[in-house]
Amino acid sequence: MQELIARAKELLADGTVVRVLGWKAGDLPYNPEAAYFETAESLDEFVYNGFCGQNLSKMMIEASKLEGKTLVCLKPCDTYSFNQLIKEHRVDREKAYIIGVGCKGKLDVEKLRKMGIKGIQSISGAELTDDCEELNISTIYGDKTVAYKDAMLERCHVCKGKEHMIYDEIIGESKDTKDADRFAEVEKIEKMSPEERFAFFQKELSKCIRCNACRNACPACSCRKCVFDSNKFDSAQKANVDSFEEKMFHIIRAFHVAGRCTDCGECSRVCPQGIPLHLFNRKFIKDIDTFYGEYQAGADAESKGPLTSFTFDDVEPGVVAERG
């Protein structure tokens, strides 16, 4: 991390950038938060560890409107989102200096809680310079040791790879974390009967409190005016008692980002209710791969997506219907 801070200070000092977008410590050891740093002194508060899971790409939409260039720290998976935003003309590449930061998998405090670990005071073993094999956790009830991989976010177990898709320079080593099939959970749901699928999503989506955290964190949700904020419709309500609207909010949002979602997993990471929202998007990704050939949104900043282009080899609507 010190190498990253030192480089950021150099780029601020020589005028290459006028601000740095990264993370600072939050009020709890597992809760760092996104922050801007505009002076060398302020960078003393900069942190980067296993809990810095937030995808900073979306914040570059507003940063692109500011004067001067912004240094932004992007993990490998974040760079897919940044590329997609370039493709959609939502960020200005010339306003960004991208440092690709190494990643050894990001951590999920909810997994620690499910292990019965509470009252956390400090955590070691999650720094970029660590081997990230083991977490040593100090709690008010005593010390605990946990395997790093057992506390990783779901998205890290199905990682797209540790290669940065876009960057100006790279700092820090990465570590392969993939140990599961990306579409295994989707296929499990596909094998359910219609009644079982409905019951599954009814149970999950009934937890929704319409806090809009998923929408606000999603890099693909970048409309200047969101349909769900319109005061012309009841959809602007927060906690709807109508179960139909509970479902439709997430289904419509999934349709809106279809073909553009990079599967960054932010929607599920920020959900305070623990709803696996990424499964909707991953189902669309799986179907797009089946119908149009394998495609990864954000793998580059130029090509057209399968839903915004046409070829004579595209499947016909009737064929899609036959496939279910």
Q: Give the residue extent of every domain in the chain.
A: 2-171, 184-319
Entry pTM = 0.92
Average pLDDT per 10 consecutive residues for the chain, totaling 324 residues = 93 96 94 96 95 96 96 97 96 97 95 94 87 91 95 96 96 92 96 95 90 94 87 62 74 94 96 95 94 92 88 70 51
Exposed (0-12), middle (13-18) or buried (19+): which is 36, by Cβ within 10 Å? Answer: middle
Residue 227 has what pLDDT?
85
Q: Strand, helix or coil at 70?
A: strand
Residue 249 has what pLDDT?
87
Residue 228 has what pLDDT?
83
Q: What is the DSSP string of 93-125?
A: GGGEEEEEEP-S--B-HHHHHHTT--SEEEEES
Name the one residue in this structure whose structure tokens are 């700092």: 171
Residue 229 has what pLDDT?
82
Token pair belonging to 28: 């709890």
Exposed (0-12), middle (13-18) or buried (19+): which is 200, by Cβ within 10 Å? Answer: middle
Residue 310 has what pLDDT?
81
* Amino acid letter for position 270: V
Q: What is the DSSP string of 161-216?
A: -S--SS-SEEES-------S-TTHHHHHHHTS-HHHHHHHHHHHHTT-----HHHH
